[in-house]
């Protein structure tokens, strides 16, 4: 019988906000998953974690981390490795991803036996290798913002999902407004997952998913300007993108931004107001926020 239980380990070490992505780029290719989170904003203390199985040499990872630190003139971190409890990860994923209603949408995984309520729009999204299965507050806030805009009668004719992840926001737009959506991401795996999810949800004819680095490259430049841009990324890249957003949006066009913490709200707001946007709405869920700007 197939067994979903596998032996996993967690490797972790202290780092900083600037160093974490450097380690992430290197280790993402050789482990199952990487993540990092902030411990203390005042001291820029972050923790980097990666998950690995028993086929990955702990010693090789230690050497790789040391080489990466030295080549980037970073302190060599003190590394800890611990066992993760034996878990049926497939069953655990299903338990952690129950069907849920967000705005006008009923989002569920393929494991769900629940019928779709007649007054809601069903979206089948499975936890996968690309971000955006609906369970995170940032995705929820974006869907609520888009649902509210649609309910208020606001119209879009040429939308863009920037950093599409699983493609969930592109599908929300396509389902609400019944029109084609361009979805781009700099990760080929996200593009693949978006295309697969579009097929599952009968959006293959309305969603074009392409690999593109932000606003650079013909995938976005040749198809703009857009009257709606959604971007569920992170605060820092969102701020960096503000000038490109302003150049790529039509007059009276809107951008929906998320992936930012409430304490980062003013920073993002200032970056977008500086290039001519006006904040018209915000959706806050816990520590996370989604902002709606109009040009």
44 within a domain of the structure (yes/no): yes
In a domain, 113, yes or no: no
Residue range 243-269, pLDDT digits in tens: 999 999 999 999 999 988 899 999 999
Read off the CATH number of the domain in which 54 is found: 3.30.70.120
Domain boundary among 61, 89, 117: 89
Q: What is the pLDDT of residue 135?
A: 53
- Label residue 87 by pLDDT band (50, 70, 90): low
151 and 230 in a single domain? The answer is yes
In a domain, 118, yes or no: no
Q: What is the mean pLDDT of residues 170-182?
A: 96
Tell whether 156 and 85 lie within a shared domain: no
- DSSP code, position 211: E
Q: At 129, is the pLDDT very low, low, confident or very high (cuts 50, 70, 90)?
A: very low
Rounded to an integer, what is the distance from CA 238 to the centroid of its chain?
Answer: 12
Cα separation of 165 and 241, whole Å?
17
119 found inside a domain: no
Domain match, 31 and 146 both = no
Give residue for tokens 């302190």. Answer: 75
* 114 inside domain: no
**Domain boundary at 89, 111, 144, which?**
89
Do 182 and 283 belong to one domain? Answer: yes
Question: For the segment 11-62, what is each residue's pLDDT rounded down to a tens digit?
Answer: 999 999 999 999 988 898 788 888 898 888 889 999 999 988 877 888 889 9
Provide the mean pLDDT of the chain.
86
Cα separation of 110 and 112, whole Å?
Answer: 6
Q: Which domain does 209 fall in, by range?
A: 134-294
**Within-domain flag for 157:** yes
Mean pLDDT to the nearest integer, 74-89:
80
Output the pLDDT for position 269. Answer: 97
Exposure string over 135-163, b if 16+ CB within 10 A, otherwise e: bbbbbbbbbbbbbebbeeebebebbbbbb
Q: What is the pLDDT of residue 258?
A: 93
**pLDDT exceeds 80 at position 81:** yes
| Predicted confidence (pLDDT) per residue in 95-119, tens digit | 555 677 787 888 887 655 567 778 8
Can you tell me the distance from the alpha carbon of 67 to that of 72, in angstroms, rounded to the nearest whole number?
9
Sheet strands (E) in 113-206: 121-124, 159-162, 181-185
* H or E segment and range at residue 171: helix 168-177
Mean pLDDT calculated for residue range 153-180: 95
Query: Which residue, 91, 69, 88, is CA-closest to 78?
Result: 69
89 pLDDT tier (thresholds 50, 70, 90): very low
> What radius of gyration do the chain's Cα atoms show?
20
The predicted structure's pLDDT at residue 138: 87
Confidence (pLDDT) at 111 = 58
How many domains does the chain contain in total?
2
What per-residue confidence (pLDDT) applies to 277? 98
Q: Is position 96 within any domain?
A: no
CATH number at residue 245: 3.40.50.150
Distance CA 124, CA 155 (A): 25
């Amino acid at each position: 019988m197939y067994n979903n239980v596998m032996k996993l380990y967690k490797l972790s070490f202290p780092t900083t906000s600037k160093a974490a992505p450097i380690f992430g780029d290197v280790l993402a290719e050789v482990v199952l998953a990487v993540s990092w989170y902030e411990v203390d904003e005042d001291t820029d203390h972050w923790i980097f974690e990666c998950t690995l199985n028993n086929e990955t040499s702990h010693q090789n990872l230690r050497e790789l981390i040391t080489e990466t630190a030295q080549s980037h003139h970073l302190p060599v971190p003190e590394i800890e490795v611990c066992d993760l409890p034996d878990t049926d990860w497939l069953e655990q994923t299903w338990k952690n991803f129950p069907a849920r209603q967000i705005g006008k949408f009923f989002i569920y995984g393929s494991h769900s036996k629940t019928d779709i309520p007649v007054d809601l729009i069903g979206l089948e999204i499975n936890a996968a290798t690309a971000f955006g299965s609906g369970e995170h507050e940032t995705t929820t806030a974006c869907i609520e913002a888009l649902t509210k805009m649609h309910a208020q009668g606001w119209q879009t004719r040429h939308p863009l999902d920037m950093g599409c992840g699983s493609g969930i926001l592109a599908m929300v737009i396509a389902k609400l407004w019944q029109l084609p959506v361009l979805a781009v991401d700099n990760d080929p795996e996200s593009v693949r997952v978006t295309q697969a999810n579009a097929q599952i949800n009968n959006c293959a004819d309305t969603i074009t998913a392409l690999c593109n680095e932000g606003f650079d490259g013909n995938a976005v430049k040749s198809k703009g300007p857009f009257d709606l841009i959604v971007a569920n990324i992170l605060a820092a890249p969102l701020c960096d993108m503000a000038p490109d957003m302003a150049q790529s949006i039509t007059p009276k066009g809107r951008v929906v931004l998320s992936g930012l913490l409430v304490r980062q709200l003013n920073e993002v707001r200032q970056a977008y107001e500086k290039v001519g946007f006006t904040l018209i709405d915000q959706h806050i869920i816990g520590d996370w926020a989604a902002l709606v700007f109009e040009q």
